């Protein structure tokens, strides 16, 4: 996928692939009804060319994506300053195995043994979750190191 550089140098395709698999937090940006942008830090996983997050169905992210599928995701680090900005369309999915998807996502951030306890500690049993998948349509990268 072609991407453009903002300044410094751009990341190579291989560097982007590695970067998206290694960095822990993304900023998920969606459109509010009043035309402002909602930005939220999220845990994510990058696999098969797509970004995947989980979000409660009642969250601003989920409600915004139901209204407008266009999203931006910024994944960056401060030292050395580098990152990737992704523009794409989000797909919502309510028909998926929540437990296995949550474990798959949490295992990026912690040992498998801790992932299940962590997930259960932060998830009320009555919460309905959505799987949000974003396939990049355009990307821009930067590396100021």
- Residue-wise pLDDT for 107-132, tens only, equals 888 887 788 777 777 776 778 999 99
What are the phi and psi torsion angles at 138 (to 5°)?
-145, 150
Predicted confidence at residue 1, as pLDDT, reads 54
Selected residue with higher pLDDT from 106 and 5: 106
pLDDT at 36: 97
Q: How far is CA 53 from CA 3, 102, 109, 132, in A?
A: 23, 9, 13, 5
Nearest in space to 49 (alpha carbons), one of 1, 6, 119: 1
Residue 5 has pLDDT above 70, yes or no: no
For residues 73 and 98, what is the distance between their CA atoms, to the nearest angstrom? 23
Q: Residue 85 has which token pair?
A: 């900005």
Whole-model pTM over 0.75: yes
Residues 2-18 have a mean pLDDT of: 75
The answer, yes or no, to whether residue 64 has pLDDT greater than 90, is yes
48, 64, 109, 141 alpha-carbon torsion, rounded to 10°: 60
What domains sit in the chain, N to C, each tagged with a CATH number?
A: 3-143 (2.30.110.10)
Strand partners, 27: 41, 74
Residues 6+ away with beta carbon under 8 Å from 39: 27, 28, 29
């Amino acid at each position: 996928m072609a991407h453009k550089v903002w300044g410094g140098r751009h990341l190579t395709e291989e560097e982007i692939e590695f970067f998206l698999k290694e960095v822990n937090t993304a900023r998920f940006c969606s459109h509010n009804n009043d035309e402002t942008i909602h930005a939220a830090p999220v845990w994510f996983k990058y696999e098969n060319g797509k970004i995947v997050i989980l979000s409660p169905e009642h969250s601003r992210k989920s409600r915004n994506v139901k209204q407008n599928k266009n999203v931006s995701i910024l994944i960056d680090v401060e030292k050395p300053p580098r990152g990737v900005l992704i523009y794409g369309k989000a797909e919502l999915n309510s028909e998926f195995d929540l437990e296995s998807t949550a474990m798959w996502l949490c295992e990026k951030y912690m040992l498998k043994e801790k992932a299940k306890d962590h997930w259960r500690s932060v998830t009320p049993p009555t919460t309905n979750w959505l799987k949000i998948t974003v396939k990049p349509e355009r990307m821009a990268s930067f590396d100021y190191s």
